[in-house]
Amino acid sequence: MKIIYPDYKNSIVNLISSILETYDVTNNHPPLKQLDTKTLRIKKNIIFFILDGFGMNLLNKFANSTKFLNKNLVSPITSVFPSTTSAAITSIISGKTPWEHGAIGWTLYFKEFAKNIDYLPNWDSITYKTQNAKKYNVIDYVGADNIFNKISGRNPDVQQFYLTHDELSQSTNVIRNSGTAKIIPYSDNNHLYKTINELIKTKKEGRKLIFVYSSSPDKIEHRHGVYSDEVKNFIVEADSALKNLSSQLAGTNTTILITADHGLIDINNYYYTNEDEKLYDSMIMPTFPEPRFLSFFVKKHKMEQFEEAFKKYEDKFLLFTRSEFLKHKFLGFGKMHPKIDDFIGDYLAIAISDSAMKSIYMQNGKWKKEFLAHHAGLTEDEMLVPLIKIDI
């Protein structure tokens, strides 16, 4: 499988720098060379779609059914590392690299609360129950300011809207990260596209920035597989809906930008640290933050044992010492977030194949059915996402 490293000059972070530059906001990372911000500046409306999990692999696989999206493809760009929603969405919302915002995966161990917490939904990692955000205020420890506050600071006249699913609209993360944008929940895709049409055509005059988040196709891929009929149906419907929306908005001086946080890859092998006696014996605590990006905290006197035990997985994962991992700058550039130091263990493993590895909590046991697809690794399927630009 082809390995793709994050390119922090041609990534989703740089796309955000382009959007910020459009509104006269300077970011610490260069804008995309292939996106002309001078043209975007004269646009009355910018609609920015994030289709979670919409990797280049889907656009290529279903090319015959996504002719409209392919026609408007500018180029592939890379995700950040790790190529996972917590890291990538936080980068999109903030314009920061994971090195700067610290949200380097789904599950993070917070020493402040002495527990593993699923960062974005603020779930207890064992019970999967949403926690009291005031008591477990993880967003105060990890994350960064949002682009909406930055844009309104320079352009108070720009109307900003944050469209997301009903069930996400009142989450702590969405409320915090939407900043000065107005949160508008939508119930289904028909409601979503109708709302966008109304915002452009019926809202008061002036410039508008409409941010749209869709949790699909990611959640469909997890459950049904990357190239399943269910995923194809979603992509085909999105292609048709976006084509119709573009026709409906003709003459409104609008640009639609579409990208994803990451792609996914089908998983054919799951490994469990608890079932590997020598590996598990060398570990101090369960692995996190992802099944395809693992931070290992290892007993100092058993590091050789760990390295020997991990050799059987070396064709599935790249293994780095802490110093090697940091030297590679996987997480990006800028000022290091202080929590990074807590999250990076003695060894880091990154998936380069169709495998995943998990630590099992004994009180939970294994899942009855694992996800059929996952992300956070360095494969081409996970790391490359499309930059699509539709001028209306």
pTM of the model: 0.96
Structural domain of residue 183, as residue ranges? Answer: 12-265+379-391
Domain-located, residue 331 = yes
Euclidean distance between the first and the last CA atom of the chain, given in angstroms as a whole number: 38
Question: What phi and psi, each to the nearest 5 degrees, are found at residue 279?
Answer: -65, -50
In a domain, 1, yes or no: no
Name the burial class of residue 307, with classes exposed (0-12), middle (13-18) and buried (19+) by CB atoms within 10 angstroms of its CB.
Answer: middle
| DSSP H/E element including 357 | strand 355-358
Task: Answer whether residue 272 is part of any domain.
Answer: yes
**151 and 198 both lie in a single domain:** yes
> What pLDDT, on a 0 to 100 scale, did the predictor assign at position 84?
98
Average pLDDT in the 280-286 region? 97
| CA separation for the pair 230, 372 (Å, rounded) | 13
| Strand 123-124 versus strand 159-165 pairing type | unpaired
Residues 276 and 340 occupy one common structural domain: yes
Amino acid identity, position 59 = L
Count of helix runs (H) and strand runs (E) in the chain: 16, 18
What is the tally of structural domains in the chain? Answer: 2
3-state secondary structure of 277: helix
Domain assignment present for 140 = yes
Tokens describing residue 58: 């889907």
Residue 154 belongs to a domain: yes
For residues 368 and 384, membership in a common domain is answered with no
Q: What is the DSSP string of 48-75?
A: EEEETT--HHHHHHTGGG-HHHHHTEEE
Query: Quick one: average pLDDT of 97-110?
Result: 98
Count Cα atoms within 13 angstroms, Cβ side, for 96: 23
Do 253 and 282 sit in the same domain of this protein? Answer: no
What is the token pair recorded at 55?
Answer: 């990797």
The Cα 180–Cα 366 span in angstroms is: 42
| pLDDT tens, residue by residue, 214-224 | 999 999 999 99
Question: At residue 375, does pLDDT exceed 80?
Answer: yes
Residues 152 and 288 in one domain: no
pLDDT band, very low/low/confident/very high, at 131 (cuts 50, 70, 90): very high
Q: What percent of the chain has pLDDT over 90?
A: 97
Are 279 and 310 part of one and the same domain?
yes
Looking at the DSSP bridge assignments, the partners of residue 11 are 78
Is residue 203 very low, low, confident or very high in pLDDT (cuts 50, 70, 90)? low
Q: Is residue 2 part of a domain?
A: no
Task: Tell me the C-alpha distance between 309 and 298, whole Å.
Answer: 12
Residue type, 162: Y
- Which alpha helices (DSSP H) does 135-288 contain, by range? 147-154, 172-177, 189-202, 218-224, 229-248, 277-282
SS3 state at 245: helix
Looking at the fold, whether 284 and 203 belong to one and the same domain comes out as no
Q: Which of 30-34, 71-75, 329-333, 365-369 has the lowest mean pLDDT?
A: 365-369
- Whether 140 and 80 map to the same domain: the answer is yes
Tokens of 152: 């309104």
Neighbours of 217 (CB within 10 A): 28
Q: Are residues 275 and 251 in the same domain?
A: no
Residue 198 sits at the vertex; the CA angle it makes with 195 and 201, to the nearest 5 degrees, is: 150
Residues 186, 371, 73, 69, Cα dihedral to 10°: -50
pLDDT tops 80 at residue 28: yes
**pLDDT surpasses 90 at 189:** yes
Residue 319 in domain: yes
> How do residues 292-306 score in pLDDT, each as one tens digit?
999 999 999 999 999
Q: Is residue 155 domain-shared with residue 287, that is, in the same domain?
A: no
Say whether both 305 and 199 belong to one domain.
no
Mean pLDDT on 330-338: 97
What CATH code is carried by the domain that includes residue 358?
3.30.1360.180
Examine the domain organization and report whether 26 and 79 are in the same domain. yes
- Kindly report the CATH number assigned to the domain that includes residue 78: 3.40.720.10
74 has pLDDT over 90: yes
- Specify if 96 maps to a domain: yes
